[in-house]
Structure 1
């Protein structure tokens, strides 16, 4: 059984990540079942047979493996594991006993990966000669790359005044969860077309209507390389609207069925198991009514799932014009809900019936964000006998599958960062210039690859109240806006240095558990290989070349006090820097 998915076409992108090449014949990236006395055995369930060498990209926010060849037997799982312990089972997407060549894996959100081969059932490895795989490399995309995929060259998106979109979890109703806007937003997916292409594309979609205004999903080849990610959302209502949340990749390809460029949609098929997991949306088969209140779940900028449902005055967003000029002379229905690049393909949903009234495809001038009327797409599919069963709203609410509380951190099972060293010190004015300041270094060693949190506590003016607080307890107001670097001091371990100037994570509370009262206090959570590493601490605008020395030569590296910049002789700013690892 298959799930029918409707997708808008023609998303446009100019982004480009990087491809990091690996040697597919190297034993660290090549797994083969071979007959030998020390390997031939009857494997037991959940036995790890092999683990790859690390796949590591310092600046990566998402990585996609590329296999030169792949052929694996039943009862074997090939699992991509992040350093945080989040696993993606590629064997759910790739058929056993089938040879794949130049095959992309699922896009995984992280920057340090291990590939494991795990026996999921009893098997005699001596009977599996000819099975194996070789990793030829991986594609690494930074957060800026991911945003560029969604926004690209598309200027036809727009806020209606102030952007009032919220993290979708804000619409979760704990008292009636299955009838909340959040529940009807769960079928909305983030879609990535060919994440290994020089110009991949990210958009939004939902089933049975995956909508992606401007989505280049108009062929069987496009469908075969399109990945579908669900619950890519923040668990915090107050989470950043400009972050890129990790999601669950549920499919790395789809079956192409039909496309209609005039109505800007494409129909593809996915496994019906996703309906049982996430639910589905139904569409209105007749023209909607003017001023109908609506909401739009979406992945603007390819980031976390947001929802637009309130205007600048706090009133519900509504359909404002049933015969809009729209964009590209395609017309459509207009509404005053905020959208942005990557929102294309989002469902425009009635807040009264939770039925889809339009598929968003553009943001026009004058707050005339527009979508293709859903009743026209329904009529077109019916005329060619491709209307999916259950696609039309009948007045009965479709079954909403139960789900876990989305306000709970999905990564809360991670080991606590309880191993801690704390450094209390000061950054001082140095040299003959009042602007030159010292740079401090913390050196540490890791026996094994792992995560490290490097935190800062220095800034003593509260972001909210603008009042001073002696956060370091040194009986004075003397602080600075910090920059920290983490880099290798081991000649055998090389990677691009990490850097943070201000806290910019999904969670606005990150970095505040040490008593910080300002986002100016740097906070880094880094994945690191085993070896020797250094944390460099300095005043804002610290260059990497200076970070590796003892002085910050930036001409305006300011130490701060009650009256602003402290330019007195021998001025200093205090800091506390906890460095933490998991237990």
Structure 2
């Protein structure tokens, strides 16, 4: 999310808003840091047992592997200590590997420890000639570190914080709740984050251009949400970004494909509402503010109706008149979140600026760029 230095004045209308005035486009990035990178030096060989990378109280551990040398039939497995979350590698072109110039970033493992094991065929011992080296890792902040970062972050909570776990609306707002499933947490290189979401029935996902323009080290975490209201646990499904299809700084979007699309196809998709929304139209935002379990921002104590509403349209953003504005609560990490109409339950904006009012890119403009790619 970005912090807007000069904010939009809400548009006039029958909702108690003041006269319209476009916002200035002066803004700075408001990246949400959620982890740290460390240099390490560990090498394992077949027959030597497992290597455990443990960082107490971390939310995840992500290893960077170099020098992976495997005899035929041998594999590298990276898992949590229980083995419930496990990824298998035979080379840098695996679906769960994100290659770079010196090796690859493995998929993150949820929890405070990642266990690396070299195995042979049928789970037997690997050849002593098979080796793997880990030269760095990223790990999630501890609760104390995360609180320290949050205390320094510029927040875009407008009035009282009204967003809630998506599960809190499962009964009262079933239509809005159903639209939360295609929305995912976007982890960038294991240390910062945004939000992204599936758009259309094909292998297409959308986020902000300022979140990424290259797929190296980009993960999507689907189902990163509480199964119950105010819960604390989740079992995410993780995939890696594979290819950027279109990106534009002026409209602050990136359209991309993922590896292993079959793993996330069951989460459904969102549709675009290619029009300029009306001032006062009810709307809502789905995302991962501050990297938290998925939230639905539906209520707004700054609005006369008590619901999130469009406050102004054709507001200056990264481009002239490119945005809509609203007072729905967001935080760092909300960048890339879909902004949906409360009437059509389709996407009318791509959230990217904070500052109260907060802003999203008009999806009718984005659709002109990506419509033929969906």
Tell me what 2:22 maps to: none
Q: Report SS of the residue matched to 2:251.
A: coil
Tell me what 1:70 maps to: 68
8 Å Cα contact 2:209-2:248 kept in structure 1 = no
Deviates more, 1:142-151 or 1:105-114: 142-151
The one of 259, 272, 286 aligned to 1:297: 286
Q: Report SS of the residue matched to 1:190.
A: strand
Tell me what 1:235 maps to: 227
8 Å Cα contact 2:70-2:131 kept in structure 1 = yes
Determine the C-alpha separation between the residues in 2 that align with 1:91 and 1:79: 6
Tell me what 2:46 maps to: 31
1:114 aligns with 2:115: yes
Tell me what 1:339 maps to: 330
8 Å Cα contact 2:34-2:141 kept in structure 1 = no
8 Å Cα contact 1:10-1:216 kept in structure 2 = no
Determine the C-alpha separation between the residues in 2 that align with 1:346 and 1:151: 19
Determine the C-alpha separation between the residues in 1 that align with 2:350 and 2:71: 41
The one of 182, 195, 198 aligned to 1:204: 195
Tell me what 2:314 maps to: 323
Tell me what 2:176 maps to: 181
The 1:30–1:275 alpha-carbon spacing in structure 2 relative to 1, beyond 3 Å, is same
Deviates more, 1:343-352 or 1:141-150: 141-150
Determine the C-alpha separation between the residues in 2 that align with 1:180 and 1:94: 41
Q: Report SS of the residue matched to 1:273.
A: helix
1:19 aligns with 2:30: no
Tell me what 1:162 maps to: 160
The 1:140–1:224 alpha-carbon spacing in structure 2 relative to 1, beyond 3 Å, is closer
Determine the C-alpha separation between the residues in 2 that align with 1:332 and 1:99: 33
Unpaired runs of at least 5, structure 2: 1-27
Tell me what 1:270 maps to: 258
Tell me what 1:104 maps to: 105
- Please report how far the alpha carbon of residue 16 of structure 1 lies from its aligned counterpart in structure 2 after TM superposition: 5.8
Deviations 1:157-214 (A, max 9, x none): 512210110011112249x9xx63232111111112222xxxx320111012745447
- Please report how far the alpha carbon of residue 370 of structure 1 lies from its aligned counterpart in structure 2 after TM superposition: 1.1
Q: Report SS of the residue matched to 1:224.
A: coil
Q: Report SS of the residue matched to 2:274.
A: coil
Tell me what 1:387 maps to: 373
Determine the C-alpha separation between the residues in 1 that align with 2:314 and 2:46: 59
The 1:180–1:152 alpha-carbon spacing in structure 2 relative to 1, beyond 3 Å, is same
Deviations 1:15-66 (A, max 9, x none): 7624152331xxxx3337xxxxxxxxxxxxxxxxx85132222242221112
Q: Report SS of the residue matched to 1:253.
A: strand
The 1:68–1:350 alpha-carbon spacing in structure 2 relative to 1, beyond 3 Å, is same
Q: Report SS of the residue matched to 2:51.
A: coil
Deviations 1:215-251 (A, max 9, x none): 3412xxx3122111111122331237xxxx6653522
The 1:259–1:387 alpha-carbon spacing in structure 2 relative to 1, beyond 3 Å, is same
8 Å Cα contact 1:68-1:102 kept in structure 2 = yes
- Please report how far the alpha carbon of residue 273 of structure 1 lies from its aligned counterpart in structure 2 after TM superposition: 1.6
Deviations 1:305-327 (A, max 9, x none): 11100122783312121233457
Tell me what 2:245 maps to: 257
Larger radius of gyration: 1
The 1:226–1:92 alpha-carbon spacing in structure 2 relative to 1, beyond 3 Å, is farther
- Please report how far the alpha carbon of residue 387 of structure 1 lies from its aligned counterpart in structure 2 after TM superposition: 2.8
Q: Report SS of the residue matched to 2:364.
A: helix
Tell me what 1:310 maps to: 299
Q: Report SS of the residue matched to 1:311.
A: coil
Q: Report SS of the residue matched to 1:340.
A: coil
Tell me what 1:223 maps to: 215
Determine the C-alpha separation between the residues in 2 that align with 1:347 and 1:165: 14
Deviates more, 1:338-347 or 1:128-137: 128-137
- Please report how far the alpha carbon of residue 298 of structure 1 lies from its aligned counterpart in structure 2 after TM superposition: 0.8
**If the length of structure 1 is used for normalisation, what is the TM-score?**
0.50
8 Å Cα contact 2:194-2:333 kept in structure 1 = yes
Determine the C-alpha separation between the residues in 1 that align with 2:284 and 2:32: 26
8 Å Cα contact 1:12-1:152 kept in structure 2 = no
Q: Report SS of the residue matched to 2:250.
A: coil
8 Å Cα contact 1:350-1:356 kept in structure 2 = yes
Determine the C-alpha separation between the residues in 2 that align with 1:257 and 1:213: 13
Deviations 1:366-388 (A, max 9, x none): x3211101010001224xxx431
Determine the C-alpha separation between the residues in 2 that align with 1:11 and 1:93: 35
The 1:305–1:73 alpha-carbon spacing in structure 2 relative to 1, beyond 3 Å, is farther
8 Å Cα contact 1:66-1:103 kept in structure 2 = yes
- Please report how far the alpha carbon of residue 103 of structure 1 lies from its aligned counterpart in structure 2 after TM superposition: 1.6
Determine the C-alpha separation between the residues in 2 that align with 1:192 and 1:20: 19
The 1:253–1:380 alpha-carbon spacing in structure 2 relative to 1, beyond 3 Å, is closer
Structure with greater contact order relative to length (CA < 8 Å, sep ≥ 6): 2
- Please report how far the alpha carbon of residue 117 of structure 1 lies from its aligned counterpart in structure 2 after TM superposition: 4.6
Determine the C-alpha separation between the residues in 1 that align with 2:104 and 2:348: 38
Determine the C-alpha separation between the residues in 2 that align with 1:187 and 1:149: 31
1:373 aligns with 2:362: yes
